[in-house]
Amino acid sequence: MSSTVVAGKDVLDKPLKLLFPVWVVISLLIVLFPVYLVFMVSVAPGSALFGERPALFVEDPTLRFWNDILQRGDLWGPLFKSLAVASFTTLLAIVIAAPAAYVISRLPVGLRYGVVIGLLVTRMFPEFTIGVSVATRFARLGLIDTYGGLVLAHLIGSLPFIAWILVGTFETIPRDLEEAAQIDGASKMGTLLRVVFPLAAGGIAVASLFVWLYSWNEFLYARLLTTNQNTLPLQVFQAIDRGSRQQMATVAAVLTLPILLVVYFLQRYLKPGALAGAVKG
């Protein structure tokens, strides 16, 4: 009987192993095709896109639209502002959420899940309703058209979500490691910095990526709290509203490039099985 079960399992495993690479390739094509279209449109002459037979491949690419956007000089300010706001938001979010999530992960199970559900409930309110209230209060505090105002506004949306991610990360770290470090003479803070946080690097990297992407692409708060210097998403909106399709695609490509760089930088930390073999015996 057991040999029949094993044989049946082998029969199922072989097709699955053959289909898995196909599934990966199809998934990559679905994800990357819109990115390819954005970059293709940004270097394509109008005749290649809007003729009788639009092409998926550009035979005579042009950098004219890139030159126009870069030489116009109105892109660098929004680019720097978006980079600064996204980076500071991510740094502050991790500094605030990581210790809080660790404490929550060490609470009794019932209390822990009550706190986690409370964090998620805060994300169920309509973003626009919260945004209008925040903009009204920030206007009274003089935080309109300031970097600090945008960073604080972005923290409102990102802190509950990444705290939820990090609670799950810290739950996977065995307490035996902390006890062993403290027996060896490490303080509570030393244990966190030298043992717990390095083991949670994968989860922290995932949380950082989510926060950075959320802040980088955020539009509502940028719209409500900005009257002078745009962020890059607002600049893309203006290109859509006023510019040609190629100009719109070029600005969108500029918006996409830093995302690719950040994902490439953080992917080295996104490794499964980081805790494998951490505790023996």
At position 101, the amino acid (one-letter code) is A
At position 275, the amino acid (one-letter code) is L
**What phi and psi, each to the nearest 5 degrees, are found at residue 85?**
-65, -45
The total of other beta-carbon atoms located within 10 Å of residue 254's CB is 20
* Residues 27-42, mean pLDDT to the nearest whole number: 80
What would the CATH number be for the domain defined by 65-269? 1.10.3720.10
Tell me the CA distances in angstroms from 55 to 22, 47, 58, 194, one per residue in order: 26, 9, 7, 55
pLDDT digits 0-9 by tens, 68-83: 777 776 778 888 899 9
Q: Report yes or no on whether pTM surpasses 0.85.
A: no
- Higher-pLDDT residue of 272 and 255 is 255
pLDDT digits 0-9 by tens, 57-116: 777 777 787 887 777 767 788 888 999 999 999 999 999 999 889 888 888 888 888 888
**Residue 38, pLDDT above cutoff 60:** yes
Which tokens belong to 237? 């909106």
Tell me the CA distances in angstroms from 17 to 6, 9, 20, 31, 272, one per residue in order: 16, 12, 5, 22, 20
Point out the least confidently predicted range of 44-53, 184-193, 235-244, 270-279. 270-279
Point out the least confidently predicted range of 148-157, 179-188, 208-217. 179-188
- Higher-pLDDT residue of 108 and 7 is 108
